[in-house]
Amino acid sequence: MLDISELSRESGFSPSKLRYYEEVGLIRSVGRRGLKRLYEDEVKTRISLISLAQTAGFSLGEIKETIGSEGRPELDRKVLAARADEIDVRIKELAALRDGLRHVMNCTAENHLDCPRFQRIIRVALTKKQVDAKRSKVYLGKR
Amino acid sequence: MLDISELSRESGFSPSKLRYYEEVGLIRSVGRRGLKRLYEDEVKTRISLISLAQTAGFSLGEIKETIGSEGRPELDRKVLAARADEIDVRIKELAALRDGLRHVMNCTAENHLDCPRFQRIIRVALTKKQVDAKRSKVYLGKR
DNA sequence: ATGCAACTTCAAGTCAACTTGACGTCAAGA
DNA sequence: TCTTGACGTCAAGTTGACTTGAAGTTGCAT
């Protein structure tokens, strides 16, 4: 059992952030000592997971949908599989971006955006997205 | 030469977003036809790059620092190298998260957060971050 | 028993990244 | 020529993810 400052220290999350996550249902405290929240150790893993999912570009809402908001996460295999696939796509995009940057570092072309090798690297990463964008009539790309 | 609606259609970015990016100096128009902006074809590659960098988790400010705001991007090899390294780290985190999700899908443990295999996967991804968090006295992890 | 640092709630503030709205302008087709 | 619709500017609004501040409460060391 941890109080909020211990959890904060061990997780690197500010107390206000922890309270906020609890408010939106991403974590929960299991009781109070007086007014003060008490957290189970388990919540640390949960916080790590949230942190990781955020760097993967998921919103708190998506994270909640994926790992559940209750004590025991109810997991929907389909959702998990879909998230894993999304991450795979993102990894490919990131790899392309990284390769593009590394290429530009060593490329002697005057204007790097004109370098065909660079453009190819970028284009490959975006192929799927472009297709999606075209498919939605105009630019209805909501975000 | 493209006007804003053509660029919008081809890039999947809303006109307001394009104007906003121009305002903050991420892209530029090369002139006007009447009042209307005209863009060079080159800007499409630039937009793709911006889009990619955003999914990699970089802010518009960081992107501007990295690829430059002027017509010809002035690139600092050190910055580029640093970004590429950051992306490598992020890719590792994402891979761990994906593996974690895929494991949970097939894991029969009652509570998945308690599954040691899952915890190990998550922990590995966060090792560096944790260390950083501890190093900064309290949770001064600004974000 | 008392003091006080560390907690609590709740409302409001902040920041990035855009979007929306009001209102004005222009170019091109009927 | 005149209308119309796609553009323009500028200020204000929105959303997500928190942080900050004010004002109150409480466990615990003295």
Q: B87-100: b or e for each residue (b if 16 or more CB lie within 10 Å)?
A: beebbebbebbbbb
Mean pLDDT across B16-36: 96
**Closest residue on chain A to B77 (Cα):** A105
Residue with tokens 């029969």: B108
Is residue B130 scored above 90 in pLDDT?
Answer: no
Q: What is the pLDDT of residues B62-111, one digit of tens each?
A: 999 998 866 566 678 999 999 999 999 999 999 999 999 999 998 888 77
B61 strand C contact, CB < 7 Å: yes
Rounded CA gap, A56 and A121, in Å? 21
Q: What pLDDT score does A68 carry? A: 81
- Pairing state of beta strands B31-33 and A36-38? unpaired
Tell me if chain B has a CB within 8 Å of the CB of A142: no
* CB-based contact A14:B139 (threshold 8 Å): yes
| Cβ-proximal residues to A138 (8 Å cutoff; 6+ apart), any chain | B8, B9
Strand D: protein residues, Cβ closer than 7 A:
A 14, 16-17, 19-21, 33-36, 54, 59-61; B 3-5, 15, 19, 29, 35-37, 143
Say whether pLDDT at A114 is over 70. yes
Confidence band for A71, pLDDT divided at 50, 70 and 90 = low
What local confidence, expressed as pLDDT, does residue A70 receive? 63
Q: What is the per-residue pLDDT across B48-61, written as a single tens digit (0 to 9) for each?
A: 999 999 999 999 99
pLDDT at A138: 57
Specify burial of residue A13 (Cβ count, 10 A radius: 0-12, 13-18, 19+). buried
